[in-house]
Chain A
Amino acid sequence: EVQLVESGGGLVQPGRSLKLSCAASGFTFSNYYMAWVRQAPTKGLEWVASITNSGGSTYYRDSVKGRFTISRDNAKSTLYLQMDSLRSEDTATYYCTTDDQVRGFAYWGQGTLVTVSS
């Protein structure tokens, strides 16, 4: 059974940093592109960043470029999102997902809530 378990969310002040993790199991992690998708309270879904299966290429939405870094450790089957210079508009539940251009975001974690507030 595919499992994606996010952790690392919490309350953080504007301008500070936070690192999210996503532990994967039940599939060959190193074969899959991965992504982070977020959802602000009562709002819709928003893609944040993606990474290729090797980690050699990364992609970001414009609003997080230069502030967020997606990475992975295939030996640990873990995906990361380093978030720096956080803003109030980054407040959201962050989901870890598998990412395939043809098959979409097939598997999702349960999400971790990040609240940016003073």
Chain B
Amino acid sequence: DTVLTQSPALAVSPGERVTISCRASESVSTLMHWYQQKPGQQPKLLIYKASNLASGVPARFSGSGSGTDFTFTIDPVEADDIATYYCHQSWNSPTFGGGTKLELK
């Protein structure tokens, strides 16, 4: 299985720019997607195919990358963005990263 590695947690202040990384153990082309999950809620798709904004998602969210290295950016961060963010690859048998918990400084 393709292993996806994310940093476990980041502390941010509203108004800042934050970047979350996701590294794949093998190339997944651009078949990488990003989700937001708030406590007690289901995940929500934000970015698909590495850099495409899902419907209704604010332009503060963006993604980039290909092959094995991907980044997800929020600029500027708002208080409502405090959540856990997961990357997911669909190049082969689907796998998720361990999640990055965004916390307030």
Contact = CB atoms under 8 A, between A and B. Distances in A.
A103 B94 CA distance: 13
Interface stretch (B14-22, B38-46, B68-76): B38-46
A85 interface: no
Best-surrounded residue of A35, A47, A50, A100 (most CB of chain B within 10 A)? A47
Interface string A73-108: 000000000000000000000010000111111111
Interface residues of B, number: 21
Given A44-B96, A104-B90, 19 more contacts: A35-B94, A44-B97, A44-B98, A45-B86, A45-B88, A45-B99, A47-B93, A95-B42, A100-B90, A102-B90, A103-B45, A104-B45, A104-B48, A104-B49, A105-B35, A105-B43, A108-B42, A108-B43, A109-B42
